[in-house]
Structure 1
Amino acid sequence: AATREGQVMIGADEIQEVFGHGLKLILDAGTQHNEPSTIISLVGDQVEILRQGKGDASDLLGQA
């Protein structure tokens, strides 16, 4: 879930509407219900986890 000013958004369409101007990609995994999300930066040559959500995302960085 993404938040802005305390508002929880649970769908990709809501996130696109609010944050779309600053996003290059939204991966839609369906509606999520208040589960912490992981935010990943793909800027430049580095993959960086900006916010760790539920689950292990280290495999996205090539780490196990």
Structure 2
Amino acid sequence: MGTIYTPKQHEEVRDQRADRIGEYMGTYGGLVHLRPPGGGCEWTTAPDRIEPLKPGVDLQPADPTGAPPRPAL
């Protein structure tokens, strides 16, 4: 069993179970509480199901128009 990653509050992490990026709000009652970047409804996951974001994979520049990313050609 590996070490459980403990992010800083408000750090963005990947929830492996839901395959979503969320902002770490804290750990309460044994569950990690995350919310979508920019706000929205929080969700919970197990502490061993979160990981830091991977540069170049999870961290991609946003389009200022709000358009979804275009597939690579």
Same fold (TM > 0.5) = no
**Which protein is bigger by CA-based radius of gyration?**
2
What interval of TM-score do these two structures reach, taking the shorter chain for normalisation? under 0.3
User: TM-score under structure 2 normalisation?
Assistant: 0.23
More strand by share: 2
